Each structure stands twice: as C-alpha cells, then as structure tokens.
Structure 1
C-alpha cells in the first residue's frame, strides 16, 4: 500500500470588507443628526429614517459580516452603534405614539454618558489600528460627552457646539470609510488613514 499525504487546504476569505459600509452609514447619519444639533435643520422623518435604515440596520449588517471575518472590534463597534441609532429613534418615536413618556433631561444625559463611556473604551482598540479610526472614536467620545453635559445642564449653546463637533466626527467617519473603499479598489493608498506601526 502506498502511503498518501494529504495536501493542506487553503481557505480563502471571499467575504467583502464591510468597514466602508459601516463607517459611511455611521458617518452620514451622524452628520445629518448634527445638522439638527447645530441648528441648521429641525428634527424630521429624514433623520429618523436614516437612523433606522442606514445608521441602524446597515451598521448591524456590517457588524454581522465583521463577525464572519473574525473581526471582534468591527463586530462590536458596528453592531453596537447600529443599535444605538435604532434605540435613539425609539426614544423619539415611542413617546410620540403615547406608549411611554419621553426621557427626562437627566435620563438622556445618562444614556448619552453611557455611550460616551463605551466609545472611550473602544477608542483604546483603535490605538492598534490606524490614525483615522483614532480620530473617529476620539471625536465621537467628545461628542457624547458634550451632548450628555448639554442635556444634563440644559445648556442649549453647548448642544449647538456639539452639533458642529458632531459634523466633524461624522465627516471623519465618511472619510475613513471611503479611504478603505478606494484604497482597496485601486490597490494603493489613495486616501491615507495612517496605519499604526506594530
């Protein structure tokens, strides 16, 4: 009998990179909401629809794909922020339907503060990734902090400042998403993201 040696099987990752979808969904929805916080527009169905379908569902889908790619950070980030957007829409819509009273300013401050703490802790994960993500998570931590203080103190001026800061945060997420996309499509650095040297 001739002994046989099994050839090693190489498993190829044929799953597309979900990061551009998740980052653009987060970024575009964040910019639009913060147009409202900055005082450029009023809260309307456009913002709520973006919160449900793009900021919410698209990010959850991106997070699930990250799980299939064995990316724990991407899974945690995209799925969490997707459900953040869905919960935020719920906080606006549920009281308008008369099911429950709307949260107090202190309640909203606690809600935003917890998301700020979560984002701050997630920021430490970006220290091993790239400068662009560090900016996204750093500026998002500041945004949640400003909004939590604004709601907790009733300082509307601070909320407007948070709106401008949130536009910058959202724009940085769009940039990072498009950089991931274009760099992959062109096979070279079209938009730099500042990878961290290990």
Structure 2
C-alpha cells in the first residue's frame, strides 16, 4: 500500500549554485595567482558574496536534501572564502597580517581537508575526481608557495587553480544543461 503521507522533494538542485560560486571565484583568484593582477576588491567581493555566500547557501540546501557530502563541502568551502577575505582585511582592523608560515599552515590544512573529500569522490563521477584532485593539488601548491615564498610555485598554483575552477564550471554547466534537455549531453 502506498504511503499517502510521503512528500516528494521538488526543490531545486543546489549543486550548480555551489559549483558556480566555487568556479568563478576560484578562476578569478587564480588568475591573480598566475600573475595577471593583484588581489583587489573584485576578488574580495566575489569571495564574500559568490564564493562564500552562495556556496554556504548551497550547502544549507544540500543539508536540507540529506546530501552529507554536498552539505559539508559547500558550507566548508563557502566558509573558506569568507575566512580568506577576512584574513586579507583583518590587518585594516589592527590584526597582525599572517606571514608565509601562517598562510602555509592555513592552506595546508585546507589541503588535508580537501584530500579527505577527494577520497570520497573515488566512488563517484569522473568530473568530481578531477575537481577534488586538482583542488587538493592547488591547496598543497599554495601552501608550498607560501612556506617557501616562491613566486614560481604560486604561479604554477594559479594555473592549476584556473583548471580546477574550469572543471567546477563545466560540472555546474553539465548538470544544468543535462537537466534542461533531460538527457546527458555533457558527460560527468
């Protein structure tokens, strides 16, 4: 007998919102890391509102859907963007600016967290493996660049970050396009 009291989830898929928030912000920051322009208000604005805010909202929506991985990933990386912008702005409020060792530790711990997420993607789509694999590499390169003060490592990290953000952009686009056309036009 059918349960007449069950509800059908008709809420939107929050994945593309979170992925686009991650993708666009990551690409822009890593164009900076690749050496094309300095950190400026454009990157900070994207970091707070799209990288931070939109991803955090997507994470809450994933939680509501019961998606543990999506919830933790989006809320955590949303908080990453908010905390990163805070680290850049806190010296204006009188806080000490983090040195290379402090930033290396900050980015390294995010690399370890991302490695744990990467391991979870091994039981999923190829694009998720590519995304979290490249993000893990990105965090460890950024940590190494900050620990050593090497502009060359940071520039390489920038290119890895552009690729990583582009993978996230592709994944978000594939989900949206496949959903709209009701078939898998773009493989995941």
Shift of 1:80: 0.1
TM-score w.r.t. the length of structure 2 is 0.97
TM-score w.r.t. the length of structure 1 is 0.92
Say yes or no: does 1:85 pair with 2:81: yes
In structure 2, the residue matched to 1:109 is 104
Say yes or no: does 1:140 pair with 2:131: no
- Tell me which of 112, 130, 138 is aligned to 2:125: 130
Distance 1:64 1:152, change over 3 A: same
In structure 2, the residue matched to 1:70 is 66
Residue by residue over 1:149-193, the C-alpha shift from the partner in whole angstroms, topping out at 9 and shown as x without a partner, is 010011111100100110000000000011111111111011100
Any gaps of 5 or more consecutive residues in structure 1?
A: 194-198
Whole-angstrom CA distance in 2 between matches of 1:92 and 1:178? 31
Whole-angstrom CA distance in 2 between matches of 1:87 and 1:190? 37
Shift of 1:125: 1.3
Distance 1:8 1:30, change over 3 A: same
Whole-angstrom CA distance in 2 between matches of 1:7 and 1:188? 30
Whole-angstrom CA distance in 2 between matches of 1:88 and 1:41? 18
CA RMSD of aligned residues (A): 1.2
Structure 1 residue matching 2:142: 3-state secondary structure: helix
Whole-angstrom CA distance in 2 between matches of 1:46 and 1:6? 53
Shift of 1:7: 5.1
Larger Cα-atom Rg: 1
Whole-angstrom CA distance in 1 between matches of 2:72 and 2:3? 36
In structure 1, the residue matched to 2:144 is 149
In structure 1, the residue matched to 2:31 is 35
Structure whose residues are more often helix by fraction: 2
Alignment size in residue pairs: 188
Whole-angstrom CA distance in 1 between matches of 2:2 and 2:60? 34
Whole-angstrom CA distance in 2 between matches of 1:182 and 1:39? 33
Whole-angstrom CA distance in 2 between matches of 1:98 and 1:163? 28
